[in-house]
Structure 1
Amino acid sequence: MKALILSAGRGTRLRPITNYIPKPMLPLHGRPLMEWVMLPLIACGIKDFVVAVSYLAEQVKNYFGRGERWGVRINYCYGPEPAGKAGEIWRAREFLGSGEKEENFLVVPGDTLCQLNYRELFHFHRQHRGPVSVAFSTRYRLEVGTAEIDENSRVVKFHEKSNLNVPVSTGAYVLDNRIFPYIEAFSPGGKEVDLPGDVFPELMAERVPIYGFVRDYAWWDVGRISDYESLLKLKADAAAEILTWGSNHGYL
């Protein structure tokens, strides 16, 4: 299976750091962020990568090259501006396979670390034989407090930053080439096209099945300076538990 890593964004919420460094290249405990994203994928057998790049793309290409250092092959799809998740998939279609055969490929964000069992996800996708499988985690802690309020407007219970307890998409998808015509219908060459926001509603309107792979796994979206700093401040043992999680689960 091939993997597309989405790394074309400008990382505006991480400014001023990303004024000079693209988000995939943010240093994190001795490696760029995107390398930590790649390692579990390599460990579960993926050898063929496509990286969607745009902003400060040369920094990414100069570090990762063609993938020889990791024993994999890396191709790059480039656009002058980010194209949205579906738009980036469309740009990468020549590398991902758009023939008649239903070829599966994985799509992951280049800024999210997660303890997702990719092997289980692939098996789930093959079992259901649909064009789309979405990875959901039930582990998402709210950043705000909530409350239960009765019919007399009295607060009866507080929940301080509790777990949301509903499936939350962590940005990983297994797709096959049946998705390309649905993306093409949005004319992705000239505008941003989102996958869950634009394309998925069309699939559901046509009763095309989208399957949800729901598990309880930890994940970290490195999208803001506070998120990034919290990972940087981790002690070595805590960082190792997150970043080399796969070594304890038959991956790394």
Structure 2
Amino acid sequence: MQAVILAGGLGTRLRPLTHTTPKPLVPIKGKPFFDYAIELLKEKGIDDFVICSSYLAHKIQDYYKNGKKFGVKITHSIESSPLGTAGAIKNASFYLDDVFFVINGDTYLDIDYRDIYEKFSESDKIAMLVVYTGEENWERTNDTLTKDGKVALYSKDGKDKRVKYVWAGVALFKKVLLDYIQSARAINLEDGIFQKLVEEGEILAYETKTRYYDIGTKERMKRFEEFISKSQGAKK
């Protein structure tokens, strides 16, 4: 299985930590955040990574290289200037399999990726979003409404009162997605692409009650650090 990692963000909410360090390399308990994600995803069967980066991309490339030291394959798709989440995927088109995960570079989610992949591969749809159904009242950046196993509405700002799930930063796409993305421009998946796919009934929903973590803010980074501390303590 292949995963495209979106790691092009500036990490402004983590400054000054990200003044000289790209967000995937921000240290958590002595090692870069994304090391934890690679270890998890490898364990789940993902061994082919395409890292899309822009800000301080050379540091990400220098650290992860071709992935050999992690026992995986890593290809770097570097943008001369940030292209957004959709633009980054389009820019990496040469490296993409016919079916691929897209995972936010600051996200950690321990779920059965093989099960998601198999369910999606059995369908004729273009996309599948992993949506979180937990009840924690935390800051939401996007929300979804699902119906009959599909995403029936996508609200990119999380303000639509009809929605009750949050996108957990993990998606699965077929390569035909590229037809929905214009070339040579900066654009995010939330900028009309998700909405168009929803209108066409092309996005499936994979619901999970497994809590996801991200390091988008210092508060969330602290939550992830606490989670890792507990996980490491449980293994001793």
TM range (shorter): 0.7 to 0.9
Distance 1:237 1:127, change over 3 A: same
SS at structure 2 position matched to 1:136? strand
In the TM superposition, residue 208 of structure 1 has moved relative to its aligned partner by: 4.2
When the two structures are aligned, how many residues end up with a matched partner? 213
Match of 1:177 among 175, 178, 183: 175
The aligned runs of 1:127-142 (5 Å cut-off) are: 127-142=122-137
Q: Which residue of 2 aligns with 1:222?
A: 215
Contact 1:14/1:224, CA 8 A, preserved across alignment: yes
Distance 1:143 1:180, change over 3 A: closer
In the TM superposition, residue 166 of structure 1 has moved relative to its aligned partner by: 2.5
Letter in 1 for 2:224: L
**30-39 or 195-204, which deviates more:** 195-204
Q: Which residue of 2 aligns with 1:194?
A: 188
Report the structure, 1 or 2, having the larger helix content: 1
Q: Which residue of 1 aligns with 2:112?
A: 117
Q: Which residue of 2 aligns with 1:240?
A: 232
Contact 2:27/2:33, CA 8 A, preserved across alignment: yes
In the TM superposition, residue 78 of structure 1 has moved relative to its aligned partner by: 0.8
* TM-score, length of structure 1 as denominator length: 0.78
In the TM superposition, residue 13 of structure 1 has moved relative to its aligned partner by: 0.7
Contact 1:66/1:73, CA 8 A, preserved across alignment: yes
Structure 2 segments unaligned to the other structure (5+ residues): 140-162
Structure 1 segments unaligned to the other structure (5+ residues): 98-102, 145-164, 245-252
Q: Which residue of 2 aligns with 1:63?
A: 63
Contact 1:231/1:239, CA 8 A, preserved across alignment: no
RMSD: 2.3
Separation in 2, partners of 1:141, 1:83: 32
Contact 1:107/1:172, CA 8 A, preserved across alignment: yes
* TM-score, length of structure 2 as denominator length: 0.82
Contact 2:213/2:223, CA 8 A, preserved across alignment: no
In the TM superposition, residue 224 of structure 1 has moved relative to its aligned partner by: 0.7
SS at structure 1 position matched to 2:230? helix
Q: Determine which structure has more spread, i.e. the larger CA radius of gyration.
A: 1
SS at structure 1 position matched to 2:18? helix
In the TM superposition, residue 239 of structure 1 has moved relative to its aligned partner by: 4.2
Separation in 1, partners of 2:125, 2:233: 34
